[in-house]
Structure 1
Amino acid sequence: MKNRFPAQQREPTDRLRFLWLALGLLCWLFAANGRLDVPLAAWLSPLFLLRFTRTMHPLSGFLWVWLAALIVTIFWLYESNFYDTLHPFSLINLIILMIFLLSFTLMVVPYLLDRLLTRGVSFLGVLLASLIFPLGQVTCEYLRTHLVPYGFFFSPAYTQHGNLPLIQLVSITGVYGLSFLMTWFTSVSNGIWEQHFSWPVVRKTALIFLSVLMLVLLFGGVRLAFSVPSTQTIRVAGVSAQRATYEQAGSVDGGTDRALASTIFTTATNELLDASRQEARGGSKIIVWPELATYTFPEDEATLIGSGQSLTRTEHIYLEMAYGVYEHGETIANRAVLIDPGGDVAWKYDKAHPGMTLATVKDGPGIVPTAETSYGHLASVICIDAWYPDLMQQVGNKDIDLMLVPGLEWPGTYLWPSYDTSFRAIEYGYSLIRPAGMDLGMIFDYQGHVLASTDYYTTNQQITVAYVPTKGTWTIYGMIGDLFTWLCIASLIGLSALVVSLSLRKPKSAPTPMDSPSTGNAEEEQKAGKL
């Protein structure tokens, strides 16, 4: 019987280990879900970082990568101008920084899991060893998304929004499946690297990964080619007030005279109604305002809604009015109201996750509203709500045809929030309209195609118009939800238990394959029982 353990234990070494750390950090800066994202960087960053941690003591490797995560956190906050929306040196800034650090810490945990567990799993085969890192990535990403405020940021999957064949995978697995695929590439590539590209050693694992990748791309290509929206289309529009008016309404604070504030709000409302009327007469059947498009005092809210009802009756349209309720110098509600062509209120929805920047706004009840219309089955959330899986899964299997997502961003996040939100359209099989202040106003179909886009910063008044299908499509993810993710979590737990069991049974003095560096001679290593 072959000896399964080499005679001596040696720590893996790599003289260039800190170069890999530096390259991993550099790529990570451009793969952090920011304005400067480079899709390829999201594939390369974890490869260099994993190469680094594989050649370090587990704890020291974890701490170095955590330090890299801290640098990326600070860079992302700087890049996004996040602090410009808050008061400097305030407690809320410190809380937000700690939240993002916690999120990034969970992003680093997969490297530690890989370093600790892969050593044991290697005895069961290179293929199983290659799965530890992606399983850890999916598990930690799921925990971030569900347990950490703003934890849905920083998924590597979102950096791939422009690769339509690849991202069709999320219609089966959600974004977690794409994250798994990207980090599995990392693990497999690192294994090939460690074996000095010795084809006989890495052939099986490499071919399995390439086969899966090809199947994913084939599925994406087939879905794009044969699931093209072919039903009747209707014209939809996202409209806003003029930029100066919109910004003036948003800047009203407690020091503004009430009469002046009322005048500013009325001006914004009238511009929105005029733009909506113009679009209705141009043929739009569903019109949506961006988040906090205007404001109203509590006692004037009925009047605001009444003006929308009058417009829908006259023009025979559906109108979603998104506005803030303002009282005592603060916004106390972030609301969206859908009015049907008969002037009836179909829903009144308060944002479920208003965020810490609007601390005076209470969380909404978190129930996604829906309405059956002659133009399809409609639903709506507001802005960041679309990134909370528990909320969006409420209507995942309810045949929604069009999702309305009024949005508003701070200037530094320009570009990526709208693109990231487009993943919901692919996951659940509906078209998505997202008019957004201080960002791109965008409309997507259920394959992720951009049907229309307008830039807040290059237009005086955003009017985003597109023809969207009146019928969505069925998706596997919409039916099974996060089943793939739960299978990944269960697999990680199972493999971890197996590693612990093996470690308790093997000789204490016996090292593992990870303990000695590859010589580059696969034949000698196999004879030594190393592989």
Structure 2
Amino acid sequence: MKNNRFAVFIILTFLIYVMSNGEWCIPIFAWIYPILFLCMIYLNRTRKVYLIISSIYAIGFIVQFWRAIGMDIKICIIVAILLSFLKVLPYIYWSKSKMRFQDTIIFASIMVSIEYIIYLIYPALGGLSDAYTQYQNLYLLQIVTVTGIYGIIFLMYWTAAMVIWIWNNKSKKEYIRKYIIVYGSVIGLVFVYGVVMFHFVGNSDKSVRIAGVTVPISELLNNDKDVYSTFYTNTFTDENITNTRNKLSSVADELFLKTELEAQAGAKIVFWSELNGAVLKQDEDMLLQRASDMAKQEEIYLIVSLLVKTPYEDLKENKTVAFNPQGELISEYFKYGRSIGELCQKGDGMLKSFDTEYGRIAPFICSDMAFLSKIQQAGRNNVDILIVPASDWKEMTLLAAKTAIVRGVENGSNIIRHTNNGMSIVSNVKGCVLAQTDYFQSDTKTLSAQVAMKGRFTLYSYIGNLFVYLCNLYLLGSFILPQIKLRGG
């Protein structure tokens, strides 16, 4: 009977974990499942419990993210197993600790360190962190202006450990009271900070109309015989090239028509979503001249997103080129964070911002938003508006949008992210989503909105992941100092 109850508990925990992130995200479950994992340790004191927790992590990761991250299923399984080995470590520590109050802090600090290690290994996986599930908890979200997402991770796991610790010591009311006050004070300060930052810091009355336009370019690149063979193989013919040039010329005509319509509707800044300006190298100059003429004609800032292919060369150029209302080229930015299997030249990751009468603006392309060290340039350089042309697939678009929203809050920048095949969003420096449109339900495939012209200062832009390093120092002190004292004694 006892084994049956434990089996039911395992199934329940697995279901809650699966629905804590990914495609079926219920944000409160991201706080609950670590508590259930810790409960599991008390229900089963054998080493078998580590295998159970690892299995839930691994299988759950595949269910949550396989379609979203676009990995081959075999690679996804290997990644899931490796991540599960890392994420079980805090629970192993907890089960072997004396379960003191300081162990609750160590437990949370270990998970912070692990999340950071995962980011360092492969930044795109860092974008799957449970912290992003809290993007709609706007008071809590403001803490990322100091700690990045790792402050949220710490609070989630510290809360889980504290729940178990308080339950285990519930008979020692006087003993646990002061520690509950410490925990409650920290949570209270985070909440107060969030209220102040949300309501009183970073308010801006001035805004500018920005439009993102797109055409169904993915269908053409992936499924058209002429375009696909020219862009992704070396087996094309002269006829393929001729047909490709004609088809892409028609795409460009549509993009410029949409650009003109948005400018005439009042947009002062217009940009194309990622890959939309697909063009062969021999036609690039002509397309850029058209962009320059359009910017000058409509008196707008125009940011064109290009995918430039030189026949017989494997690496394409995935970049943005910006023009001012005088038709002058003012910025060229190459994508830094290439996706899996993306054969494009790697950019240097250096910010290419430019000043306008509507604030300081900078483009970042799609998965570049996952790279913390690169996007911090936006905060340090006082970028007011981040323009993010992107290209998604249906299952991953919400994860990508969450990442962009949080990056904006961390660095005090307003975000407009427009994408092919996904959800386009506008968010302000506080993380509020001000506008959104779904590619699959939109007739025009266009996102147009008023975007605040002023960003705000954030400490995180300057100190980076100092909070992570402090957690690491605490861990080192917790593990090394007792050994020094032991040997000294």
| TM value normalised by structure 1 | 0.83
Number of residue equivalences: 476
Q: Is the 8 A contact 1:35 1:79 kept in 2?
A: no
Contact 1:66 1:105 in 2 (8 A): yes
The farther-off stretch of 480-489 and 250-259 is 250-259
Match of 1:442 among 422, 425, 434: 425
**Larger deviation, residues 489-498 vs 247-256:** 247-256
Partner of 1:178 in structure 2? Answer: 152
Partners of 1:415 and 1:177 lie apart in 2 by 22
The answer as to whether partners of 2:379 and 2:457 remain within 8 angstroms in 1 is no
Confirm whether residue 289 of structure 1 aligns to residue 282 of structure 2. Answer: no
Structure 1 counterpart of 2:228, from 247, 250, 253: 253
C-alpha deviations, 1:92-126, integer Å up to 9, x for none?
6544543444344333322223334x32xx5xxx3
What SS does the aligned partner of 1:284 have?
A: coil
Residue from 365, 382, 390 that aligns with 1:407: 390
- Check if 1:135 corresponds to 2:109: yes
Q: Distance in 2 between matches of 1:58 and 1:326?
A: 58
Cα distance, 1:168 vs structure 2:
0.8
Q: Which AA in structure 1 matches 2:392?
A: E
Are the structure 2 counterparts of residues 197 and 157 from structure 1 closer, same or farther at C-alpha, using a change threshold of 3 Å? farther
Distance 1:442 1:202, change over 3 A: same
Mapped to 2, the partners of 1:197 and 1:284 lie a distance apart of: 64
Distance 1:79 1:250, change over 3 A: closer
Tell me which of 337, 340, 343 is aligned to 2:327: 343
Classify 1:343/1:103 alpha carbon distance in 2 versus 1 (closer, same or farther; 3 Å): farther
Post-superposition offset of 1:348:
1.4
Instruction: Call closer, same or farther: CA 1:108–1:262 in 2, change over 3 Å.
Output: farther
State the shift of 1:152 in Å.
Answer: 1.0
Give the structure 2 partner of residue 232 of structure 1. Answer: 206
* Alignment-mate amino acid for residue 282 of structure 1: A
In 2, distance between residues paired with 1:305 and 1:143? Answer: 41
Q: In structure 1, the residue corresponding to 2:349 is in which secondary structure?
A: coil
1:249 and 1:264 in contact (8 A); partners too: no
Measured in 1, the distance between the counterparts of 2:48 and 2:482 equals 22
1:197-220 residue CA offsets vs partner (Å, 9 max, x unmatched): 764443232232222212212221
* One-letter amino acid of the structure 1 residue matched with residue 18 of structure 2: L
Aligned-partner SS, 2:380 = coil
1:304-383 equivalences under 5 Å are: 304-328=287-311, 332-358=316-342, 360-383=343-366
Once residues 347 and 413 of structure 2 are traced to their aligned partners in structure 1, the CA distance between those partners, rounded to angstroms, is: 24
> How much is the aligned-residue C-alpha RMSD, in angstroms?
2.6
Alpha-carbon distance, 1:307 to partner: 1.2
Change in Cα spacing, 1:113 to 1:301, as seen in structure 2 (3 Å) is: farther
Note closer, same or farther for the CA distance 1:197–1:432 as it changes in structure 2 (3 Å cut). farther
Corresponding residue SS for 1:357: coil
Residues 1:502 and 1:450: Cα distance change in structure 2 (over 3 Å): same
Please give the alpha-carbon distance, in whole angstroms, between the structure 1 residues aligned to 2:367 and 2:299. 30
Contact 1:130-1:184 at 8 Å conserved across structures: yes
Write the distance in 2 (CA, Å) between the matches of 1:420 and 1:186.
Answer: 24
Kindly indicate whether the alpha-carbon contact (under 8 Å) linking 1:164 and 1:448 is maintained by their aligned counterparts in 2: yes
SS at the partner of 2:361?
strand
1:141 Cα deviation from its structure 2 partner: 0.7
The answer to whether 1:31 aligns with 2:20 is yes
Measured after TM superposition, the shift of residue 274 of structure 1 is 1.1
Deviations 1:405-431 (A, max 9, x none): 111112211323112210011111110
Q: 1:166 to 1:149 in 2, by over 3 A?
A: closer
Alignment partner, residue 82 of structure 1: 70
For residue 106 of structure 1, the aligned residue among 86, 98, 112 is 86
The aligned residue for residue 232 of structure 2 is none
Matched, 1:151 2:151: no
Please state how far the C-alpha of 1:37 moved relative to its aligned partner.
Answer: 0.5
Highest RCO, 1 vs 2 (Cα 8 Å, sep ≥ 6): 1
Q: Is the 8 A contact 1:21 1:49 kept in 2?
A: no
Q: Does the aligned pair in 2 maintain the 1:332–1:361 contact within 8 Å?
A: yes
199 and 319 in structure 1: CA distance in 2 versus 1, 3 angstrom threshold? farther
Task: Give the match's secondary structure for 2:125.
Answer: coil
> Partner of 1:264: helix, strand, or coil?
helix
Q: 1:431 to 1:77 in 2, by over 3 A?
A: closer
Within 5 Å, give how 1:449-528 maps onto structure 2.
449-500=432-483
| Alignment partner, residue 3 of structure 1 | none
Stretches of structure 2 that go unaligned for 5 or more consecutive residues are 230-234
Matches within 5 A, 1:156-235: 156-195=130-169, 199-235=173-209
Q: Write the distance in 2 (CA, Å) between the matches of 1:327 and 1:270.
A: 21
Q: Which amino acid aligns with 2:141?
A: I
Deviations 1:312-340 (A, max 9, x none): 01111111111212344866121111111
**Is the CA contact (8 Å cut-off) linking 2:148 and 2:410 kept in structure 1?**
yes
Normalising by structure 2, report the TM-score: 0.90
Identical counterparts, % of pairs: 27
Distance apart, 1:151 and its partner CA: 2.6
Of 93-102 and 380-389, more deviation after overlay is shown by 93-102
Deviations 1:118-142 (CA, angstroms, capped at 9, x unpaired): 32xx5xxx33121011101111111
Consecutive unaligned residues of structure 1, counting only runs of 5 or more, are 1-12, 84-91, 507-531
CA distance in 2 between counterparts of 1:217 and 1:410 reads: 35
- Residue aligned with 1:411, SS: coil
- Aligned-pair distance for 1:158? 0.3
* 8 Å CA contact retained: 1:50, 1:111: yes
Query: How far apart are residue 149 of structure 1 and its match?
Result: 5.0
The answer (yes or no) to whether the contact 2:378–2:413 under 8 Å persists in 1 is: no
Q: CA deviation at 1:48?
A: 0.6
Q: 1:100 to 1:26 in 2, by over 3 A?
A: same
